[in-house]
């Protein structure tokens, strides 16, 4: 719709959803002369934290505590923050009357000229994004990281200094309205059931992810997990086949095939990588981060970074120094012979499996949060084998209890703080207390970050 920011001047643009992303959109649009209206179903008091961040901008109009259809029809463009579902009837109403509706990621990318590495999947997106950015940075390649991880994409357009490549974590919510979004590299880490409070089925969820391939061409490189059946099925899509494909795998038996077409395979303490005529070898013998999934995340990041000039030395340095990211199997401390781990970023069942895979036994597991209609039955075997006590809290605790509560000692607790205290009380020397909720945080917290930080605050108060 627009190809240059100068075209935004005097255009009437509505931002739907005033959270972190909405604030960035308001600033960018007003800085470029647009006439901005903010609409949110939340009231002014509920949005006070974000309203304070834009109170210096006097030209913004507000439609708070609901959405006024008449105001929608006055706009040249409507931009949705990622947390807002584009399936709401009021957006169909706007489209029917000729008003363009788009998302923050799609809108930002109308103006971005630099190549983009886009990372999606159910789990591992944040870690792969971080590792890719870190490798490029240590290689002397100027990269910018953002998207679903940390900084809204629109913030890149607000800064004067430009990067050589953008590393963007892209969620299914961001991809739902992707039309012209055209990353140079696409990474799909894995696919598992998620967000069933937003999507009617797993198929709808995968179809949202599939939008990342809408504009692939012969110069696109897709980096796919060869060990994930749903990702392999996705690879058969004609859109994916338009470009080059690299695979990564932890299965040594895949080495001949992957080394033939390009990719990386984990064999014992080595990563064997081929992105050109030669095979490179990296050691993972000294890797410090917990969990087998760390190897998968490293493999994906190496392939993406290599596409943009990453050096062998930088890659090996990052492998050797990487300890993990905050809120993802993050070691907190040892108290009285008990180790505490913060995995607050585990917001779905697949992520909890990955966390439990990092431990052998004697885990005291804290789960629960917002109920997103997920089934937890697939955790039964791991809970029976590895979990000593299961501490459940939050909106989803009854659902989790029905699915896995019979497979170990289980407690349903009223508050988050009480849940952490009970976990500590039930622990003995050699046990691991693991916060891996398997749910989003929005029943009790504003984000998984707030939840993880509160967990660490409680644990660090123990004597």
Confidence band, pLDDT 50/70/90 cuts, at residue 299: very high
Q: What is the CATH superfamily name and number for domain 330-460?
A: Mur ligase, C-terminal domain (3.90.190.20)
- Predicted local distance difference test score (pLDDT) of residue 290: 86
Instruction: Kindly report, residue by residue over 338-381, the tens digit of the pLDDT.
Output: 999 999 999 999 999 999 999 999 999 999 999 988 899 999 99
HEC readout, the chain: CCCCHHHHCCCEEEEECCCHHHHHHHHHHHHCCCEEEEEECCCCCCCHHHHHHHCCCCCCEEEECECCHHHHCCCCEEEECCCCCCCCHHHHHHHHCCCEEEEHHHHHHCCCCCCEEEEECCCCHHHHHHHHHHHHHHCCCCEEEEECCCCCCHHHHHCCCCCCEEEEECCHHHHCCCCCCCCCEEEECCCCCCCCCCCCCHHHHHHHHHHHHCCCCCCCEEEEECCCHHHHHHHCCHHHHCCEEEEEECCHHHHHHHHHHCEEEEECCEEEEECCCCEEEEECCCCCCCCCHHHHHHHHHHHHHHCCCCCHHHHHHHHHHCCCCCCCCEEEEEECCEEEEECCCCCCHHHHHHHHCCCCCCEEEEECCECCCCCCHHHHHHHHHHEEEEEEECCCHHHHHHHHHHHCEEEEECCHHHHHHHHHHHCCCCCEEEECCCCECCCCCCCHHHHHHHHHHHHHCCC
Which sequence spans correspond to the domains of the chain? 8-107, 112-321, 330-460
- Predicted local distance difference test score (pLDDT) of residue 195: 84
Instruction: Kindly report, residue by residue over 118-146, the tens digit of the pLDDT.
Output: 999 999 999 999 999 999 999 999 999 99
Choice between 194 and 430, residue whose per-residue pLDDT is larger: 430
pLDDT(446) > 90: no
pTM: 0.93
- Predicted local distance difference test score (pLDDT) of residue 35: 98
Instruction: Kindly report, residue by residue over 211-247, the tens digit of the pLDDT.
Output: 999 999 999 999 999 999 999 999 999 999 999 999 9
- Predicted local distance difference test score (pLDDT) of residue 48: 96
The CATH code that applies to domain 112-321 is 3.40.1190.10
Choice between 313 and 442, residue whose per-residue pLDDT is larger: 313
Which CATH architecture best describes the domain 8-107?
3-Layer(aba) Sandwich (3.40)
Other beta carbons within 10 angstroms of residue 311's beta carbon come to: 16
């Amino acid at each position: 719709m627009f190809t240059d920011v100068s075209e935004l001047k005097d255009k009437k643009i509505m931002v739907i959803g005033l959270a972190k992303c909405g604030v960035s959109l308001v600033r960018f649009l007003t800085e470029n002369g647009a006439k901005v209206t903010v609409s949110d179903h939340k009231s002014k008091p509920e949005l006070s934290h974000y309203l304070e961040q834009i109170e210096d901008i006097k030209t913004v109009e507000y439609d708070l505590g609901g959405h006024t259809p008449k105001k929608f029809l006055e706009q040249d463009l409507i931009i949705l923050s990622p947390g807002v579902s584009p399936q709401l009837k009021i957006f169909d109403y706007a489209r029917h009357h000729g008003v363009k509706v788009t998302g923050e990621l799609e809108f930002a990318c109308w103006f971005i000229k630099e190549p983009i590495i886009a990372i999606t999947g159910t789990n591992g997106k944040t870690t792969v994004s971080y590792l890719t950015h870190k490798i490029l940075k240590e290689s002397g390649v100027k990269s910018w990281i953002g998207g679903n991880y940390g900084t809204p994409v629109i913030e890149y357009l607000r800064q004067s200094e430009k990067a050589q490549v953008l590393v963007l974590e892209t969620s299914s919510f961001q991809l739902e309205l992707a039309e012209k979004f055209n990353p140079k590299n696409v990474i799909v880490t894995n696919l598992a059931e998620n967000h069933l409070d937003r999507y009617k089925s797993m198929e709808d969820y995968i179809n949202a992810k599939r939008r990342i391939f809408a504009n692939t061409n012969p110069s696109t490189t897709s980096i796919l997990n060869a060990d994930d059946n749903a990702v392999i099925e996705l690879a058969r899509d004609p859109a994916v086949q338009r470009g080059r494909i690299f695979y990564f795998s932890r299965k040594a038996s895949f080495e001949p095939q992957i080394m033939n077409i390009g990719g990386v395979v984990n064999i014992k303490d080595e990563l064997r990588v081929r992105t050109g005529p030669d095979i490179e070898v990296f050691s993972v013998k000294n890797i410090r981060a917990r969990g087998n999934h760390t190897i998968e995340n490293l493999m994906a990041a190496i392939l993406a970074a290599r596409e943009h000039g990453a050096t062998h030395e930088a890659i090996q340095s990052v492998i050797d120094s990487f300890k993990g990211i905050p809120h993802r199997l993050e070691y907190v401390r040892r108290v009285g012979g008990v180790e505490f781990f913060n995995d607050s970023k585990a917001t779905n069942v697949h992520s909890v499996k990955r966390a439990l895979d990092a431990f052998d036994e004697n885990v005291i597991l804290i789960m629960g949060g917002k109920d997103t209609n997920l089934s937890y039955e697939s955790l039964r075997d791991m809970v029976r084998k590895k979990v000593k006590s299961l501490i459940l809290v939050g909106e989803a605790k009854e659902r989790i209890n029905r699915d896995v509560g019979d497979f170990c000692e289980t407690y349903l607790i009223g508050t988050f703080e009480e849940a952490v205290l009970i976990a500590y009380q039930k622990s003995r020397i050699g046990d691991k207390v693991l916060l891996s909720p398997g749910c989003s945080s929005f029943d009790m917290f504003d984000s998984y970050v707030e939840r993880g930080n509160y967990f660490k605050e409680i644990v660090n108060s123990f004597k």
